[in-house]
């Protein structure tokens, strides 16, 4: 699905630093590309907890999880469809919209599957719903041990049903597969730890070049 605005998505396993990168990019890009080109910088994410599907997902994640993969996939898909209609579609009509989304359908494929084959099927289903294709889809590549240590450092947060070694290893395998297929742009966690400002600069430069190629800016 084509759109006028520019959509960036950030995916990765729990504890990979997605939310931190998103917040840092919002600050960095607001002071640079958004100011230079008069763009509207917007932050959103999935699951979207403002509808009945998002609320049900939140409740189940904190209370042992879903009955089965089918239930999880159904709720997550309905949530993305709702987010598309209420958030992405209206915003992406505007050429000046620069949207950064914390998680997208890449994470649905990773988390709502139990094999690479299932993940591929879930990923292909995005075409049925005509979800907007990201202009830049980022994946933070982190090893599971480090991610779990990061999760353990969160103050006052209990782990949800997905934050375990087996599930996170599977999710990493799915992200790696999608990266090899050219769907995801890899951002090593080690780079963020060693020099996050260089990463921000490189990603901002990449976004500028992609927006120029798209005709969003000159």
* pLDDT at residue 163, as a whole number: 75
100 vs 179: CA distance, rounded Å: 19
Residue of 43, 15, 14, 48 lying closest to 28 (CA atoms):
43
pLDDT at residue 129 in the model: 93
Residue 208 corresponds to which tokens in the numbers above? 């500028």
What per-residue confidence (pLDDT) applies to 159? 58
Say yes or no to pLDDT of 172 above 90. yes
SS3 188: strand
Q: If you ran DSSP here, which 8-state letter would residue 134 be given?
A: P
Question: Which pLDDT band holds residue 135 (cuts at 50, 70, 90)?
Answer: very high
**Whole-number percent of the chain with pLDDT over 90:** 83
Q: Are 100 and 91 in contact (CB under 8 A)?
A: no
pLDDT in tens, 147-170: 999 988 655 454 566 778 999 999
**128-149 as b/e, with b when 16 or more CB fall inside 10 Å?**
eeebbbbbbbbbbbbebeebbe
Quick one: pLDDT at residue 50?
Answer: 84
Give per-residue pLDDT as tens, 78-117: 999 999 999 999 999 999 999 999 999 999 999 999 999 9
pLDDT above 70: percentage of residues in the chain: 95
Q: What per-residue confidence (pLDDT) applies to 161?
A: 67
pLDDT of 71 strictly over 70: yes
Using CA atoms of 150, 155, 157, 163 in order, give the dihedral in degrees to the nearest 10.
Answer: 10
Q: For the chain, list the domains and their CATH numbers.
A: 6-214 (3.40.50.300)
Paired sense of beta strands 6-11 and 136-141, if any: parallel
Q: According to the model, what pLDDT value does residue 30 have?
A: 93
The 3-state DSSP class for residue 19 equals: helix
What integer pLDDT is reported at residue 160 of this predicted model? 65
Q: Which residues contact 173 (CB under 8 A, 6 or more apart)?
A: 116
- Phi, psi at 90, each rounded to 5°: -65, -45
């Amino acid at each position: 699905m084509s759109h006028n605005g520019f959509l960036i998505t950030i995916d990765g396993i729990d504890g990979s630093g997605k939310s931190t990168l998103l917040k840092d990019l919002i600050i960095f890009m607001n002071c640079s590309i958004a100011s230079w080109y008069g763009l509207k910088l917007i932050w959103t994410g999935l699951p979207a907890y403002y509808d009945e599907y998002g609320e049900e997902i939140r409740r189940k994640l904190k209370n042992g999880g879903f009955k089965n993969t089918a239930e999880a996939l159904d709720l997550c898909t309905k949530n993305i469809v709702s987010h598309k209609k209420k958030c992405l579609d209206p915003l992406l009509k505007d050429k000046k919209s620069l949207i950064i989304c914390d998680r997208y359908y890449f994470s649905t494929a990773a988390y709502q599957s139990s094999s690479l084959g299932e993940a591929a099927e879930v990923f292909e289903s995005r075409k049925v719903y005509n979800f907007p294709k990201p202009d830049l889809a980022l994946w933070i590549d982190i090893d599971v041990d480090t991610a779990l240590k990061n999760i353990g450092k969160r103050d006052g947060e209990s782990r949800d049903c997905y934050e375990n070694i087996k599930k996170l290893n599977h999710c990493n395998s799915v992200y790696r597969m999608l990266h090899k297929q050219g769907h995801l742009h890899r951002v090593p966690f080690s780079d963020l730890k060693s020099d996050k400002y260089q990463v921000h600069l490189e990603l901002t430069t990449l976004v500028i070049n992609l927006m120029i190629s798209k005709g969003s800016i000159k």
